[in-house]
């Protein structure tokens, strides 16, 4: 009980959510490969910015068929077994990379890992939605997001120092920690997929969570605000991916050989900010609507990324990372909450597949389009674009929040959306 009191807003969550939390900590502590993919493809394989953007785009696009397949299978066959199968295959895809040196096969194994990771994601997200309800979902997603970053605070820092002299261990460590997280889920989390009787009689579902008898497309069409919301999340994703693409390239330009260790430090600043500020932000915004909070996140994205236009000192890069990470906290914890609160219980796997796919659309085309843009423009010219895009998306989200409030004015508001 003392531990739960210490956890504040998370104290009433189920034990299963805490198991998933620990699994995410373990898995994220070994998240070595993807944060350094841009630098690896440039430094070790010798690709130019356009080629790097192409392979990163393929890795992001590979997520799409994997996610669609995994979402459908999670709704039909169950969350747990689908997650274990595909997360295990994603981990296995890293292992050959440790022994291939600078082979061009490595980008293709990373693309394969993205496909399998995409298939595992909807099952994991649907599992969380099954284990929560609208009144505690924001706290649950906040805790799990913090767990991811608690591990991530350590992982890239280690990877940054391993990169120059012990590169194979980056791939092996990523796979090993993935298997440990799979073991936690396999041993301690029961199957959460509700049966038909449970879906029909569930008493705690909001209107938008009620079972739908039609197709996934029809269920989605009935939620136009959710559709627009997802498109704006795609724009956010396009902006956010610049911290993995343009930011490390700019740091190489500014700091030279210190770039990998400095970039690893920034990723740790990002993760530590999440660890120490997620609970506070969750408490401060608990009674604000999730869609409004996602709009607030865009304001922090605009400031944090926009300031990269004119800075050179490393401490200012730290400040920038802190600011855009506050936006990341607001977007990540409230975005999944909003989707879960507007997803029919009968389609959770498929809705949790389409949401990251639309988000990944921005993540996928971001590096490729930015890589082409950088062939004729300077690195720093990217940041004004992120500023205008973030602020524009934020304004639209605030308008959607107002529209949603008017639509629901005749119904009882949800407890966290006063």
Instruction: CATH number of the domain at 230, please.
Output: 1.20.1250.20
Q: What is the pLDDT of residues 118-148, one digit of tens each?
A: 899 899 989 998 898 888 888 999 999 888 8
Q: What is the mean pLDDT of residues 240-267?
A: 83
Close Cβ partners of 286 (under 8 Å, ≥ 6 residues apart):
9, 138, 139, 416
Domain extent for 76: 2-190+214-417
**pLDDT classification of 234: cutoffs 50, 70, 90:** very high
Count of C-beta atoms within a 10 Å radius of residue 52:
24
Please state, rounded to an integer, the average pLDDT across all residues of the chain.
85
pTM of the predicted model, to two decimals?
Answer: 0.79
Q: What is the mean pLDDT of residues 387-412?
A: 82
Pairwise CA distance, residues 47 & 196, whole Å = 52
Close Cβ partners of 81 (under 8 Å, ≥ 6 residues apart):
191
Q: Which of these ranges, 65-74, 83-92, 150-159, 298-307, has the smallest mean pLDDT?
A: 150-159
In a domain, 218, yes or no: yes
pLDDT of residue 197: 57
Q: What is the pLDDT of residues 168-215, one digit of tens each?
A: 888 888 899 899 999 999 999 988 888 765 665 555 667 677 777 777
Pairwise CA distance, residues 383 & 247, whole Å = 10
pLDDT over 50 (residue 416): no
In a domain, 233, yes or no: yes
In a domain, 281, yes or no: yes
> Contact, 106 vs 225, CB < 8 A?
no
In a domain, 202, yes or no: no
Dihedral of CA 238/239/244/246: which sign?
positive
pLDDT of residue 53: 81
In a domain, 407, yes or no: yes
> Contact, 182 vs 22, CB < 8 A?
no
Better-scored residue on pLDDT, 231 or 37: 231
Q: Quote the Cα angle for 116-137-7, to 5°.
A: 100
Six token digits for residue 247: 């930011």
Q: What is the mean pLDDT of residues 377-392?
A: 93
Pairwise CA distance, residues 155 & 170, whole Å = 10
In a domain, 71, yes or no: yes
In a domain, 196, yes or no: no
- Per the structure, the count of domains in the chain is 1
In a domain, 109, yes or no: yes
């Amino acid at each position: 009980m003392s531990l739960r009191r210490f956890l504040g807003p998370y104290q009433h969550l189920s034990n299963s959510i805490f198991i998933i939390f620990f699994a995410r900590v373990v898995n994220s502590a070994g998240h070595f490969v993807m944060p350094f993919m841009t630098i690896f493809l440039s430094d070790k394989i010798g690709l130019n910015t356009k080629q790097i953007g192409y392979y990163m785009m393929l890795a992001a696009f590979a997520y799409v068929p994997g996610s669609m397949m995994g979402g459908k299978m999670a709704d039909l066959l169950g969350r747990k077994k689908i997650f274990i199968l595909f997360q295990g295959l994603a981990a296995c895809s890293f292992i050959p990379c440790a022994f291939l040196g600078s082979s061009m096969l490595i980008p293709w194994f990373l693309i394969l890992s993205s496909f399998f990771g995409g298939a595992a994601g909807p099952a994991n997200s649907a599992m969380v939605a099954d284990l929560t309800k609208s009144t505690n979902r924001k706290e649950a997603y906040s805790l799990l997001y913090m767990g991811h970053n608690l591990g991530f605070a350590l992982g890239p820092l280690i990877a940054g120092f391993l990169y120059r002299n012990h590169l194979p261990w980056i791939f092996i460590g990523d796979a090993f920690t993935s298997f440990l997280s799979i073991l936690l889920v396999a041993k301690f989390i029961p199957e959460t997929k509700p049966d038909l009787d449970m879906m029909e009689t569930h008493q705690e579902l909001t209107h938008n969570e009620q079972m739908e008898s039609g197709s996934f497309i029809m269920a989605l069409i009935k939620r136009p605000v959710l559709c627009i919301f997802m498109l704006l999340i795609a724009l956010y994703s396009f902006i956010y991916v610049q911290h993995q693409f343009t930011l490390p390239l700019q740091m190489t330009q500014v700091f030279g050989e210190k770039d990998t260790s400095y970039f690893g430090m920034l990723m740790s600043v990002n993760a530590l900010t999440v660890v120490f500020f997620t609970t506070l932000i969750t408490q401060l915004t608990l009674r604000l609507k999730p869609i409004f909070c996602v709009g607030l996140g865009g304001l922090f994205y605009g400031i944090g990324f926009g300031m990269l236009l004119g800075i050179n000192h490393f401490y200012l890069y730290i400040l920038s990372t802190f600011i855009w990470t506050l936006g990341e906290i607001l977007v990540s914890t409230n975005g999944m909450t909003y989707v879960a609160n507007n997803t029919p219980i009968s389609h959770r796997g498929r809705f949790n597949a389409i949401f990251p796919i639309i988000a990944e659309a921005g993540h996928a085309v971001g590096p490729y389009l930015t890589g082409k843009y950088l062939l004729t423009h300077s690195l720093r010219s990217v940041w004004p674009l992120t500023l205008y895009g973030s602020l524009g998306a934020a304004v639209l989200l605030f308008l959607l929040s107002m529209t949603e409030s008017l639509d629901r004015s005749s119904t009882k508001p949800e407890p966290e959306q006063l």
